[in-house]
Amino acid sequence: MVQRLIMAVLALCAVLPARAHEAPSGWTYGYECCSGTDCYQISSDDIEVVPGGWRIKASGETIPASDRRVKPSGDGRFHRCSLGGIPTAGTICLYIPAGS
Protein backbone atom coordinates (compact mmCIF):
# COMPACT_ATOMS: atom_id res chain seq x y z
CA MET A 1 0.00 0.00 0.00
CA VAL A 2 2.72 2.47 0.99
CA GLN A 3 4.74 1.55 -2.08
CA ARG A 4 1.73 2.27 -4.35
CA LEU A 5 1.26 5.65 -2.69
CA ILE A 6 4.93 6.53 -3.17
CA MET A 7 4.76 5.48 -6.83
CA ALA A 8 1.64 7.61 -7.35
CA VAL A 9 3.30 10.67 -5.82
CA LEU A 10 6.43 10.18 -7.93
CA ALA A 11 4.34 9.80 -11.09
CA LEU A 12 2.46 13.00 -10.27
CA CYS A 13 5.71 14.89 -9.68
CA ALA A 14 7.02 13.74 -13.04
CA VAL A 15 4.10 15.25 -14.96
CA LEU A 16 3.70 18.52 -13.07
CA PRO A 17 5.66 21.46 -14.51
CA ALA A 18 8.39 23.08 -12.45
CA ARG A 19 7.20 26.29 -10.78
CA ALA A 20 9.18 29.39 -10.10
CA HIS A 21 8.28 32.11 -7.64
CA GLU A 22 7.14 35.64 -8.30
CA ALA A 23 9.16 38.83 -8.18
CA PRO A 24 8.00 41.44 -5.64
CA SER A 25 6.13 43.31 -8.39
CA GLY A 26 4.18 40.19 -9.42
CA TRP A 27 5.83 38.83 -12.59
CA THR A 28 7.21 35.29 -12.49
CA TYR A 29 10.88 34.36 -12.68
CA GLY A 30 11.53 31.64 -15.26
CA TYR A 31 11.50 28.05 -14.04
CA GLU A 32 14.97 27.55 -15.53
CA CYS A 33 16.28 30.26 -13.18
CA CYS A 34 14.55 29.66 -9.90
CA SER A 35 13.67 26.82 -7.59
CA GLY A 36 11.63 29.07 -5.32
CA THR A 37 14.40 30.71 -3.29
CA ASP A 38 17.10 31.63 -5.80
CA CYS A 39 15.86 34.93 -7.29
CA TYR A 40 15.72 38.41 -5.82
CA GLN A 41 15.66 42.04 -6.89
CA ILE A 42 18.99 43.85 -6.81
CA SER A 43 19.78 47.55 -6.82
CA SER A 44 21.44 49.14 -9.82
CA ASP A 45 24.23 49.90 -7.32
CA ASP A 46 24.87 46.14 -7.03
CA ILE A 47 25.73 45.80 -10.70
CA GLU A 48 28.20 47.59 -12.94
CA VAL A 49 27.80 48.03 -16.68
CA VAL A 50 31.04 46.95 -18.35
CA PRO A 51 31.92 46.72 -22.05
CA GLY A 52 29.79 43.92 -23.48
CA GLY A 53 27.90 43.04 -20.32
CA TRP A 54 27.49 43.47 -16.57
CA ARG A 55 29.64 42.82 -13.51
CA ILE A 56 27.95 41.49 -10.39
CA LYS A 57 29.71 43.22 -7.51
CA ALA A 58 28.81 40.64 -4.81
CA SER A 59 30.16 37.64 -6.74
CA GLY A 60 32.75 39.40 -8.90
CA GLU A 61 31.33 37.72 -12.00
CA THR A 62 31.15 39.38 -15.39
CA ILE A 63 28.12 38.26 -17.38
CA PRO A 64 28.37 38.96 -21.14
CA ALA A 65 25.28 40.43 -22.81
CA SER A 66 25.22 37.39 -25.13
CA ASP A 67 25.12 34.92 -22.22
CA ARG A 68 22.07 32.64 -22.12
CA ARG A 69 21.63 33.55 -18.42
CA VAL A 70 20.67 37.12 -19.37
CA LYS A 71 16.89 37.58 -19.47
CA PRO A 72 14.60 40.59 -19.89
CA SER A 73 13.25 41.99 -16.64
CA GLY A 74 9.49 41.91 -16.18
CA ASP A 75 9.33 45.16 -14.24
CA GLY A 76 12.16 47.41 -15.43
CA ARG A 77 14.42 46.54 -12.47
CA PHE A 78 17.49 44.34 -12.09
CA HIS A 79 16.94 40.87 -10.63
CA ARG A 80 19.42 38.09 -10.04
CA CYS A 81 19.09 34.38 -9.37
CA SER A 82 21.95 32.69 -7.54
CA LEU A 83 22.23 29.31 -5.85
CA GLY A 84 20.13 29.48 -2.70
CA GLY A 85 19.73 33.24 -3.15
CA ILE A 86 23.22 33.74 -1.72
CA PRO A 87 24.67 37.00 -3.11
CA THR A 88 28.24 35.68 -3.36
CA ALA A 89 27.17 32.46 -5.15
CA GLY A 90 27.35 32.03 -8.91
CA THR A 91 24.68 33.58 -11.10
CA ILE A 92 21.97 31.32 -12.50
CA CYS A 93 20.10 34.11 -14.31
CA LEU A 94 20.36 37.88 -14.54
CA TYR A 95 17.22 39.87 -15.39
CA ILE A 96 18.06 43.14 -17.08
CA PRO A 97 15.77 46.16 -17.61
CA ALA A 98 15.24 47.21 -21.22
CA GLY A 99 17.91 49.64 -22.38
CA SER A 100 20.50 48.61 -19.79
**Residue with the larger pLDDT of the pair 94 and 11:** 94
pLDDT digits (tens, 9 = 90+) for 22-48: 898 999 999 999 888 999 999 999 999
pLDDT of residue 83: 94
> To the nearest whole percent, how much of the chain has pLDDT over 70?
80
Q: What sign for the dihedral angle of Cα 45, 59, 51, 93? A: negative
pTM of the model: 0.77
pLDDT digits (tens, 9 = 90+) for 71-86: 999 999 999 999 999 9
Given pLDDT bands bounded at 50, 70 and 90, which one contains residue 50? very high
Exposure string for 52-77, b = 16+ CB within 10 A, e = fewer: ebbebeebebebeeeeebbbebbeeb
Average pLDDT score over the chain:
84
* Number of residues that make up the chain: 100
Domain residue ranges in the chain: 18-96
